[in-house]
Amino acid sequence: MENQENKNQNSTGPNRKDSKRPAKKILDEGPKFNYFWIWAIFIVFVIISINLPFFQETTKESNMTQLRTMLNNNDVDKIVVVTSNEKSAEVFLKDSALNKPEYKDVAHSRFGTVNKGPHYSLTVPSNDAFDKSINEFYKDHPQLQPVNVKYEIRQDWWKDVVPWLLPLILIAGLWIFMLRRAGGGIGGGAGNIFNIGKSKAILFDRDEKINITFGDVAGLDEAKVEVQEIVNFLKNPKKYTALGGKIPKGALLIGPPGTGKTLIAKAMAGEAQVPFFSISGSDFVEMFVGVGASRVRDLFRQAREKAPCIIFIDEIDAIGRARGKNLIQGNDERENTLNQLLVEMDGFSSEKGVIIVAATNRPDVLDTALLRPGRFDRQISIDKPDLSGREQIFKVHLKTIKLSETVDVYKLAALSPGFVGADIANICNEAALIAARNDKTAVDMQDFHDAIDRAIGGLEKRNKLISPDEKRIIAYHEAGHAVAGWFLENAHPLLKVSIIPRGVAALGYAQYLPKEKYIERQEEMLDRMCMTLGGRAAERIVFDKISTGAQNDLDQVTKVAYAMVSIFGMNEKVGNVSFYDMQNQNSFNKPFSEETSRIIDEESRKIIEGQYQRAQDLLRDKRKELDALASLLLEKEVLFKDDLERLIGKRPFDKADEITTNPTDASAENVDGQFTVSMSINTDVINTVVENDKA
């Protein structure tokens, strides 16, 4: 679904060449040229040019000996003694003297014009010393007419001004840069300083037909029914207002990441054919106080002008978090932004037809005032798709892929429980890349199996060096999982077992195909725990030692055991109590006494230890099957369900109508190293689990 969404966004987005954009649209069209910087560069160039010697008249360094020679030849017109940071004498030659060959270097400036002087300069220790030297020269040459000597005091303002002017220029430049960055590209150039409080929403107007409709949204049938009524409100509001009904002000889309919340909001705009404002919650918040509230006001002002329309705020939890939870007292810009949003949502007239659609995957952190009727009247849950939904999503993404006749969409949907639209899109794309890498003319089922392995299990690492002893431990560990699950009624049906390393730390896999269920019985949870502990139990039975390979197994069973005792009320000693919501509300304090906490710990350990002993008893009884399976694993590395049926017989609890999941009906010999990863779906409290043993 995500790929489909991106594809349609590219065809209808703000950069489309044939779009005619109204002047009021606020779009990020890239950086614009700013003439302010041309003037700044020009002024700096002029200031520097005035003071650089390169642009001044040609002046050469001299000394007293050369000066006496020039005085003796009667070539000097005047001398100016300058007093500034250091004393120097400037010598100006007569115009008639400039024609002499010895003065050709100073006769003209760098640009070819006549040099008006000074022509020479020399450093003097003091005015008195210079006067004494000149007077002595004329005493020795009484026949010469003394030249005019002037004294000037000059202030080198450039050296005085730069030390305090340069920091001011740097501070001003930094401030302008920060304001431009805060403007986020709105309006371009220096206008960002004045547009910082403007809304950053992207507007899709009526003349830009949004091609996404509900027909492009697959696997979300229930959610589409919910939002269809809102679309009908926008299309024909009089039908409802005539009976006294009011147009709903907002709808909140809630669901895990990748389920298609943004896509269904876009489809709403495409179906209703109304202006559509799209903005992220984080776009409201800036480092400057009051900017977020100003952007909220500007957004709703534009929306009223375009009504009826839809405002879509993605990831609203960025500004919609519950107020009063900030431990640092002071002015909270997010709370100011939220307050303004609450006022705007409940303040504008409902007859205007401005509907707010927001999306989040964290509804638990939202402020209660934001969720009340009158603001978000509808809360639409967009869950992970079921088997039928995944089949529809696969069909959407497989339209652009050249498929082999062996591809069974229903089997792909069955092999991907817990996958959302974004996951399915990634699997389809990965399968096409794998087929192209192998020079195939079409994508077959094997490519999809490899894609699922790659996406979830990680990259296969056949070259990883594992010692024979370690490999034997891994083989018995995985065989313990497989045998325990094979003879437990409520365990998930086995797909395959592998000892090929994958990903970062996965040394082996025992893969199962879970049944999609919304509730779990206590017997099912205990059987799953027993199956999960089968790996460690096999190590204890065979080697009389345990290893670190069961770390992930222990993590899973610990979560399940504590959930059974403290959340699901499945322990007689603790009783029918649940501390789940109370634990969320009291994150810093336990919602039960220390005695109850001790009982929960003890009972959880008893459950885990009981299933561990149960797994050992089961594997001791099936030791022959365990050894046979481990030996075959060491030989072939990957075993499928069919291999286990030939080796230890059919699973006693399998039904006749179960789906065959071996890739392209191939045996383990000709698909060595390939395996299918399937996710275990349990209740929301117990996290989604992939059997993944770590060293």
Q: Which residues are catalytic?
A: 478
Question: How far is the CA of 680 from the CAs of 84, 255, 422, 534, 693, in angstroms?
Answer: 86, 19, 18, 17, 15
Q: How many CB atoms lie within 10 A of CB 456?
A: 23
Phi, psi of 357 (to 5 degrees): -120, 125
The residue whose two tokens read 């640092």 is 328
Evaluate whether 258 touches 420 at the Cβ level (below 8 Å). Answer: yes
CA distance 676 to 450: 7
Instruction: Return the bridge partners of 148, or none.
Output: 78
CA distances from 335 to 366, 370, 570 (A): 12, 12, 42
Nearest to 224 by CA among 268, 177, 272: 268
Cβ atoms of 643 and 675 closer than 8 Å: no
Q: What does 251-276 look like in DSSP terms, one character per residue?
A: EEEE--TTSSHHHHHHHHHHHHT--E
The residues that bridge with 640 in the sheet, in sequence order, are 496
- In the structure encoding, which two tokens stand for residue 73, read together? 């030849």
The residue type found at 318 is A
Alpha-carbon distance of 125 to 296, in angstroms, equals 71
Distance of CA 114 to CAs 105, 109, 147, Å? 11, 6, 22
Amino acid at residue number 669: E
Tokens describing residue 453: 């392995």
Residues 6+ apart with CB under 8 A from 397: 1, 3, 4, 424, 425, 428, 429
* Cα 245 from Cα 239, distance rounded (Å): 9
Residue 425, φ and ψ in degrees, nearest 5: -60, -40
What's the rounded Cα separation, in Å, for the pair 617 and 564?
A: 23
Separation of CA 36 from chain center? 34
Question: 266: which 2 tokens?
Answer: 């876009």
Q: How many CB atoms lie within 10 A of CB 670?
A: 9
Give the list of residues 6+ apart from residue 606 with CB closer than 8 angstroms, or none.
Answer: none
Phi/psi of residue 351, each to 5°? -70, -10
Burial class (CB in 10 A: 0-12, 13-18, 19+), 476: buried
Alpha carbon 391 to its chain centroid, in Å, reads 29
Distance set, CA 96 to CA 76, 517, 551 (Å): 10, 110, 101
How many angstroms separate the Cα of 616 from the Cα of each of 141, 509, 532? 124, 20, 12
What separation in angstroms does the CA of 141 have from each of 77, 89, 616? 17, 21, 124
